[in-house]
Amino acid sequence: MHKDYSSEGLLAFLREATLAGRMAPALARSRRAAARVLFAELTEGEAADLRQLSIDALKSRLLNIQGDGLRREVVELYAERLQGALDDYFRFVEAPDSFVSKAVPQAASPRDKQSTKTREERALETVRLSAPGQRPDVIPIPLNKDRVVYLHGIPADLTPKEARKISRVVEALADDAEVDK
């Protein structure tokens, strides 16, 4: 039996899933909307066989082409929804009779203001919030309690030879009097 893995097949599956009672209407609707937006940048090969589709590559294509109209965080959300749709669709194509839609874990929703937090939760929040302020291209090296040296501009593809060269420069800056003691 011919198995249809095309983008048209997925959209038809999402359209009929609600009528057949295979999926909640809101879920099917949101997945279809996500698929419609993301499928705008499918190649012919991907459209014919969705198993070839790399969602990460599709996301980057969309952000490059429609960066002005489609926001990064919305593309991420749509990609999650499409991934869920693809998982369900592939399982449906493989075994239509035994298909049951998988529940998707929802992102953490905003909590009530009155809800209390443990000390650990608060500490974790503080750690997470202080992280974005630190520049990723500056590497702190603590020498002792009061002395921290910062390395800046270290390339990502630094070779051991280059690292030794840097270390020799740093060694040349050291005070020889300390060694004699």
Partner 1 sequence: MNRWLFMLPLVVFGVGGLGLYALFVSQADDASFRENLLPELIGFCLEGFFLVGLFTFVQQLRDYYHRREQWLSLRSVLRDFLSHLNLAFLAPDAEPASTSDLESQPLIVHQLMELLSDAELDVETLVSLKRVAISTLPLARDLINIAAQLSTRHMRCWIAIVASIDSLAEADTREQAELPLNELLVRLTEFDSLKL
Site of interaction with partner 1 (CB under 8 A): 24, 26-27, 29-30, 33, 69-71, 73-74, 77, 106-113, 115, 122, 124-126, 128-133
Minimum distance between the CB of residue 65 and partner 1, rounded to whole angstroms?
15
86 contact partners, CB below 8 Å, separation of at least 6: 10, 50, 53, 55
Q: What phi, psi does 161 have (nearest 5°)?
A: -65, -45
Cα atoms in the Cβ-side hemisphere of radius 13 Å centred on 16: 9
Q: Minimum Å distance from CB 23 to partner 1?
A: 10
Nearer to partner 1, 15 or 165 (CB): 15
Cβ 114 to partner 1 shortest distance, Å: 9
φ/ψ of 97, rounded to 5, equals -75, -35
Considering the complex, state which of residue 130 and residue 144 has its C-beta at the smaller distance from partner 1. Answer: 130
Nearer to partner 1, 132 or 160 (CB): 132
Report the nearest approach of partner 1 to the CB of residue 131 (Å).
7
Amino acid (one-letter) located at 148:
V
Closest distance of CB 1 from partner 1, Å? 32
Pick between residue 1 and residue 103 the one whose CB is nearest to partner 1.
Answer: 103
Phi, psi of 141, rounded to the nearest 5 degrees:
-120, 100
Nearer to partner 1 among residue 21 and residue 69 (C-beta): 69
- Cβ(84)–Cβ(26) below 8 Å: no
Cα separation, 98 vs 83, whole angstroms = 20
How far apart, in whole angstroms, are the C-alpha atoms of residue 25 and residue 30?
9
Angle at 64 between CA 61 and CA 68, to 5 degrees: 130
User: Least separation, in Å, of the C-beta of 149 and partner 1?
Assistant: 23
Residue 32 or 42: the one with the smaller Cβ distance to partner 1 is 32
